[in-house]
Amino acid sequence: MSGRDAGARPAQDTARPARRRGRPASADRAEAGKAARDRILASARAEFAERGYDKASIRSIARGAEVDPALVHHYFGTKEQVFEAAAEVSFAPAAEGLGRLAPHGPDGLGEELVRFFLGVWENPASRAPLLAVVRSALSNETAARIFRRMVTRQLMARVARRLDAPDRELRVELAAAQMVGVAIMRYVLGIEPLASADPEDLVARLSPAVQHHLAGPAGPAGEQPRGG
Amino acid sequence: MSGRDAGARPAQDTARPARRRGRPASADRAEAGKAARDRILASARAEFAERGYDKASIRSIARGAEVDPALVHHYFGTKEQVFEAAAEVSFAPAAEGLGRLAPHGPDGLGEELVRFFLGVWENPASRAPLLAVVRSALSNETAARIFRRMVTRQLMARVARRLDAPDRELRVELAAAQMVGVAIMRYVLGIEPLASADPEDLVARLSPAVQHHLAGPAGPAGEQPRGG
């Protein structure tokens, strides 16, 4: 409790927190440092969400966290690195959720993924931060690069691991494209009737398409893909 | 030729073009007006593409067209209305193309649409302006509203007309979501291997998923959708 109170004070204070009896000074400093770091991260996520990558500034992130801008640089480095750390927090629930999916093969994977994806996006607590990262990625090349790396390594790679096909990365990306498109049209653009469709109806309609990408033939029934 | 030359001059000149023998003054004025309008539209499309909806300004659009800002307001109204007119030009090839698709039922419609969609996006001349509109729509609520109306009325309604099902709007939107997701991941974010995949390979992989949305069962094989 007292540690959290100390952490809520400006950085000038937290850099030298009041020493508590029976505790080494280094432990207090480490705790205060972690509290300041957490405040900066929370402020960064709010700043990127509100203003997007382009308009966000280290100065404003520092102000929101009640620390000196130098401390933001000290903990995170450049604006790009602050964005990456903030995006990682926003992606964490999705990445952890994908890690928890049943470790079986592709059977039923389509429905499992659609259900998981809609679950993350239907929940405003996980939707808002993801939306913020997506918006930044679509309007700024630096943010796009970080987003691309994060989606590829932390989300899609976890799904690809469950497939055996040599073209598994492409399969997962086409499945992801279906869900990304739904997220954009339903949650970002609010296109009706998709925006108001019942989630269970969407699970039923989307699962076969996603399953097709993950485990179906690579071309139309009875045909080989012409290009590859 | 001389009409186009006159049109390339600043608006102050084009407002009173040199009268040509045997032609009523009103015809010259109408031609000069159309030339100025076209220049404004071209400048607006470049401005929105380069700076996005938020940062674009009527002043800068007027400067690009070598006219007075008042003339931009005269022809188009507000910045929102300029954006709408510019977006309409960018959407025209897609809307016209969809209008030209064979007027048969849903058989083979999936492949036809995927092929058409990739054709529009693979061509840099039609891709760049669409990308600009999409970027503006994803970062600004006013642009999103215009984009939503345009996509719904000019693109998706043309496809829905070819289906007979009561849920045809939702079907077309889920099919569109698949292609929107591919456009975002392939052309905006450049996620590999999707970004470099052969277009014919993509046609073969995407068509069954799109066809499923347009004409397949509304739930997984043998099941009714649970939600509706």
Kindly indicate the confidence band of residue B2, based on its pLDDT and cuts at 50, 70 and 90: very low
Helix then strand count (H, E) for chain A reads 12, 0
Has residue A13 got a pLDDT over 80? no
How many CB atoms within 10 Å of residue B116? 17
DSSP at A10: -
CATH number of the domain within which B54 lies: 1.10.10
Query: Are A21 and A40 contained in the same domain?
Result: yes
**Residue B221 forms part of a structural domain:** no
How many CB atoms within 10 Å of residue B69? 15
Residues 93-112 in B contacting A (C-alpha not used; CB under 8 Å): 111
The distance of Cα A159 from the centroid of its chain, to the nearest Å, equals 16
Average pLDDT, chain B: 84
pLDDT of residue B66: 95
Mean pLDDT of B6-11: 41
Query: Are B7 and B42 contained in the same domain?
Result: yes
Q: What is the pLDDT of residues A90-145, one digit of tens each?
A: 888 888 888 887 777 778 899 999 999 999 999 988 888 888 888 888 888 899 99
| Segments forming the whole domain that contains residue A190 | 79-228
Contact residues on chain A for B197, CB-CB shorter than 8 A:
170, 227-228
In A, minimum Cα distance to B168 occurs at A193
What is the rounded end-to-end Cα distance, in angstroms, of chain B?
A: 61
Boundary residue ending a domain (B31, B58, B76) = B76
Burial pattern A1-14, b for ≥16 Cβ within 10 A else e, equals eeeeebbebebeeb
The phi, psi pair for A50, rounded to 5°, reads -80, -40
The answer to whether the CB atoms of A189 and B111 lie below 8 A apart is no
Query: Are A59 and A116 contained in the same domain?
Result: no
Burial pattern A94-113, b for ≥16 Cβ within 10 A else e, equals bbebbeeeeeeebeebbbbb
CATH number of the domain within which A183 lies: 1.10.357.10
Cα gap B26→B8, rounded to integer Å: 19
Q: How many domains does chain A have?
A: 2
Q: What ipTM does this complex have?
A: 0.80
B223–chain A Cβ distance below 8 A for any pair:
yes
Q: What is the pLDDT of residues B65-102, one digit of tens each?
A: 999 999 999 999 999 999 999 999 888 888 888 888 77
Query: Are B120 and B34 contained in the same domain?
Result: no
Query: Are A187 and A218 contained in the same domain?
Result: yes
The answer to whether the CB atoms of A52 and B139 lie below 8 A apart is yes
**Residue B56 forms part of a structural domain:** yes
pLDDT of residue B18: 55
Q: Above pLDDT 90, what percent of chain A?
A: 51
B195–chain A Cβ distance below 8 A for any pair:
no
Mean pLDDT of B35-54: 91
The answer to whether the CB atoms of B213 and A209 lie below 8 A apart is yes
Query: Are A70 and A4 contained in the same domain?
Result: yes
B221–chain A Cβ distance below 8 A for any pair:
yes
Query: Are A89 and A161 contained in the same domain?
Result: yes
Query: Are A57 and A104 contained in the same domain?
Result: no
For tokens 């079907």, name the residue: B171
* Tokens linked to B16: 């009173």
Query: Are B69 and B84 contained in the same domain?
Result: no
CATH number of the domain within which A70 lies: 1.10.10.60
Q: How far is B9 from chain A (nearest CA, A)?
A: 35
pLDDT of residue A70: 96
Q: How far is B224 from chain A (nearest CA, A)?
A: 8
Query: Are A132 and A32 contained in the same domain?
Result: no
Has residue B189 got a pLDDT over 50? yes
pLDDT of residue A21: 67
Q: What is the pLDDT of residues B138-182, one digit of tens each?
A: 878 899 999 999 999 888 988 898 888 899 999 999 999 999 999
Question: Mutation test of the interface with chain A: which of B53, B54, B174, choosing the one with the most A Cβ atoms within 10 A?
Answer: B174
Mean pLDDT of A72-98: 91
**Residue B113 forms part of a structural domain:** yes
Q: Return the top range by mean pLDDT from A55-64, A139-148, B214-223.
A: A55-64
